[in-house]
A and B are shown apart, each in its own frame.
Chain A
Amino acid sequence: MPKQLMKGNEAVVRGAILAGCRAFFGYPITPASEIAEAASLLMPEVGGVFIQAESEVAAINMLFGAASGGVRAMTASSSPGISLMQEGVSYAAGAELPMVIVDIMRGGPGLGNIAPEQGDYYQVVKGGGHGNYKVIVLAPNSVQEMCDLTYLAFDLAEKYRTPVYVLADGFIGQMVEPVEFPEPKLPQIDKTWCVDGTAETRHNLITSIYLAPEELEQHNLKLKKKYERIKREEVRYEAYKVDDAEVILIGYGIVSRILKSVVDTMREDGYKIGLLRPITLFPFPEEKIRDLAKTAQIFFVVELSTGQMVDDVKLALNGMREVKFYGRCGGMVPSAEEIIEQVKSVFEETEKEIEHQR
């Protein structure tokens, strides 16, 4: 099938529809609005629902309603809008509803700006709502993955009955690249748990209330077990030229693309350097990181933030190796050359230290 040139935000909607998504609820916000715009155009064409909600709070709750009906449904927003949706995500996690949320991150805190950032790692990966819950988080780094990971998100959401995020930055959303689309899926409603206004589902109850402490504890433990299974079975990452690498760069989203350029350029100059790109942020590829620590001495994390994912890298390594960090934020994006300069200084420091030890 020949490829088509498309914007990331538009590829998301097509990936969703091909996965069988038939309902979109959203509120306009830059730089995610193209997703709602494409959904408003395309959903009715496939017999689906599109509603421009009165707020992000309403949008996530409309999604809660549609998801309760067992259909594949989604919303999309950007950082401040995601903050508003957190209540609904907590309820959905508690009620074990499958749903897909796309976050095209912009600059914060507060109104911040509309430029690309990765400042939502904490609020999305660590769960910005209340209670003991986790969500699966997929981090695309190309337009192809905007489509493919959205397509995958619906399967994962249904398999584990959990909200799944597609977490991208403004660049990935706005970028245009060739994309090849997967085959359409025509999923069936699972009537064992949903409510769809039929006799078969009449006795079903969608709820996050467990009034008795014993019951709520059991429910939390059940969720925990689910998250542990997700950690075992759903870790995804890309490892690039890591085999003999002494320094491992770690970055996701647009940063991983820049880091790939860094690796290619520095390899040409003889540096032993590689890239680990987490594709799932939860579950985080901790084991792979520990595995890489067998050969690599230094881990260098780059983010469009003041340092959020770097915490998970440190937790994974638990002091085994040195973790360096370089971040830009507010919409400032580091060039490959800028990062190369930073990484070279790390190499030099290490050399000096080794010499010193000799």
Chain B
Amino acid sequence: MTTILKKPSTFYEVFTRKPDADKINTHYCPGCGHGKLHKLIAEAIEDLGIQDRVIIINPVGCSVFLYYYFDTGHIQVAHGRAPAVATGIKRVHPHSIVISYQGDGDLAAIGGNEILHAANRGEHITVFFVNNAIYGMTGGQMAPTTLPGMKTTTTPRGRDIHNEGYPLRMAELIATLDAPVYVERVALTDAKNMAKARKAVRKAIQIQVEGKGFAFVEALSTCPTGWGMNPPDAEKWINEVMTKYFPLGVFKDISDKVEPVKFEKKILTAEDIKKAIGVNGSEVTQVKKYQRNTIAEKYKNPKIKIAGFGGQGILLLGLVLAQAGMLEEYHVSWLPSYGPEMRGGTANCHVNISESEIASPLVSIPTVLIVMNRPSLEKFEGTVKPGGVIFYDNSLIDIEPSRKDVEVVAVPATKIADDLGSTKVANMVMIGAYIGYTGILTKESIFDALDIMVKRKEFNELNRKAVEAGMEFVV
């Protein structure tokens, strides 16, 4: 029986994307292992009947031109980033079959982080890792897989383990992770090893087709040019030398234990989307109208600065004022001093409640200063606009404001809060004192604002009492 050698249909018949005159042969050097691995992948794709679904991630390295040869979808990517790009495309199109193909410099050096994390997330991708112990494309420099003592153009005296460290065994490394389903190292050399490689390539793709997860095949591959050997010697060198450091075999296989994942697409209507992300839909047309208080001119359009210790609810105090202001159809803005470094330290925020559009949300010269600790009073007292108002918690602040050109309202907010049963509502007492004294907002809008802003509704009974207590105090 004669075997007809033919190209798998996964390969283009003519390599029209190849820029040089030769559109039939590959760009690889004679005896290079890439061509062998390409063929195994092409055959597997053909046999599994998945050609339309395949997207190949083209790396940087000698295999940068995978798109010359494979009649599949292609994404050409930056050096080392193939597993991240593969993650992105696979997650948005889970029905696609994503094959990430990388060399040793690409995967084990510059892309070490990306491959480790893609493997660790258990991305449903198939990774082929070509290990030829050298940077082939750039002319034979050291790779992370270069053997100790091996001469390259950047290890002219041979790889010195004291200077360059040891070769990375990627298959073994990946196999220590929980998520990967299948990890094997093969050699693209003699017929026996090629048969094993063929099986491994097919299995690694099959696992993705079945929705089982991450598969990784490391292929020891010849680089006769880079190694300065003829092809038969190169194969012999892999079998006799490389495999000593990079043993062949299956390092992990849980493919018969893992449950396949079924990817289902969520189809949502416009109304579903608005509901899912909590934005008002067209059904919300009824807006509650609030009766504003009559306010003395000097308390209109307040620029408020609120300050105190982190944990006193300073930011919430400001947010409730802004929310209530919005309910009463004022223009409002709220701006925090932000970031984790503020935690435990001082907190402050800026609130504008205005009858006209707010230009700057920053309050540098407040007309209202609400302070709940001494450092804040000392820091901001001087900034208050003449004729403005300072509200301060005199149960915590043991000094009095020294300004004579502003109104000063002392509110024992923390004491009142303690009497109500929780120090935490001192901020609410301050809200009550502020709206009670100036009339800027109504109790009704503050209460509704609390219902919107406070997630745990059971707190609001006490919050309301505290607001009322603050209002009563200033009457």
Contact = CB atoms under 8 A, between A and B. Distances in A.
Contacts of A4: 279-280
A2 B64 contact: no
Contacts of B274: 18, 181, 184
Contacts, number: 243
Nearest to A13: B277
B63 interface: no
Interface string A84-121: 00011001000100000000000000000011000000
Interface string B77-92: 1100100111111111
Given A2-B280, A88-B81, A65 B89 contact: yes
Contacts of B340: 30
Interface string A6-41: 000000011001100011010000110000000000
A208 B89 contact: no
A51 B85 CA distance: 12
Nearest to B50: A197
A25 B77 contact: no
A1 B19 CA distance: 57
A47 to B, nearest CB: 3
A49 interface: yes
Contacts of A171: 335, 361-362
B114 interface: yes
Contact of A45 (B54, B270, B276): B276
A209 B19 contact: no
A256 to B, nearest CB: 9
Nearest to A196: B93
Given A51-B87, A196-B93, A257-B360, A61 B78 contact: yes
B333 A175 contact: yes
A62 B76 contact: no
B270 A186 contact: yes
Interface in B1-54: 17, 19, 51-54
Interface string A168-195: 0011001111100101101000000001
Contact of A196 (B57, B96, B114, B360): B96
Given A175-B361, A195-B75, A183 B270 contact: yes
Contacts of B272: 46
B246 interface: no
A69 interface: yes
A258 interface: yes
A136 B403 CA distance: 50
A329 B451 CA distance: 39
Interface string B386-417: 00000000000000000000000000000000
B377 interface: no
A257 B359 contact: yes
B89 A69 contact: yes
Contact of A65 (B87, B282, B326, B339): B87
Contact of A174 (B87, B276, B331, B335): B335
Given A4-B280, A30-B340, A31-B338, A176 B322 contact: yes
A12 B89 CA distance: 23
Q: Chain A contact residues: over half helix, strand or loop, or mixed?
A: mixed
Interface residues of B, number: 79
Given A91-B78, A177-B332, A184-B273, A51 B268 contact: no
Contacts of A47: 265-268
A28 to B, nearest CB: 11
A212 B20 CA distance: 10
Contacts of B89: 65-66, 68-69, 195
Interface string B352-373: 0000001111101100000000
B284 interface: yes
B155 to A, nearest CB: 27
Interface in A143-180: 170-171, 174-178
Contacts of B281: 1
Contacts of A264: 359
Contacts of A5: 319, 322-323, 326, 332, 334, 452
Given A18-B273, A335-B362, A87 B78 contact: yes
B113 to A, nearest CB: 6
Contact of B284 (A1, A65, A95): A1
Given A17-B273, A51-B91, A114-B341, A207 B76 contact: yes
A197 B93 contact: yes
B303 to A, nearest CB: 10
Contacts of A215: 19
Contacts of B336: 174
A69 B277 contact: no
Contacts of A205: 17, 67, 73-76
A81 B292 CA distance: 46
Contact of B92 (A69, A178, A183, A338): A69
A346 interface: no
B273 A61 contact: no
A59 B55 CA distance: 20
Contacts of B360: 257-258, 260-261, 336
A91 B77 contact: yes
A151 to B, nearest CB: 12
A54 interface: yes
B464 interface: no
Nearest to B356: A264
Contact of B335 (A14, A175, A196): A175
Contacts of A30: 338-340
B333 A62 contact: no
A159 B35 CA distance: 39
Given A47-B268, A257-B360, A61 B280 contact: no
Residue in B116, B266, B276 whose Cβ sees the most chain A Cβ within 10 Å: B276
B268 A46 contact: yes
A333 to B, nearest CB: 6
B97 interface: yes
A198 to B, nearest CB: 6
A200 B110 CA distance: 34
A199 interface: yes
B92 A54 contact: no
Nearest to B315: A176
A258 B362 contact: yes
Given A69-B89, A202-B52, A202-B71, A176 B335 contact: yes
A10 to B, nearest CB: 10
Nearest to A177: B333
Contacts of B452: 5
A306 interface: no
B301 interface: no
A111 to B, nearest CB: 13
B348 interface: no
A328 to B, nearest CB: 12
A63 interface: yes
A196 B276 CA distance: 26
Contacts of B239: none
Contacts of B113: 54-55, 57-58
B92 A22 contact: yes
Nearest to A182: B279
7 contacts: A30-B340, A57-B81, A64-B78, A65-B90, A184-B270, A198-B52, A338-B364
Given A18-B277, A114-B339, A257-B361, 4 more contacts: A5-B326, A58-B87, A73-B92, A336-B362
Closest 8 CB pairs of A and B: A65-B88, A197-B96, A47-B266, A335-B364, A195-B73, A61-B84, A260-B359, A207-B76
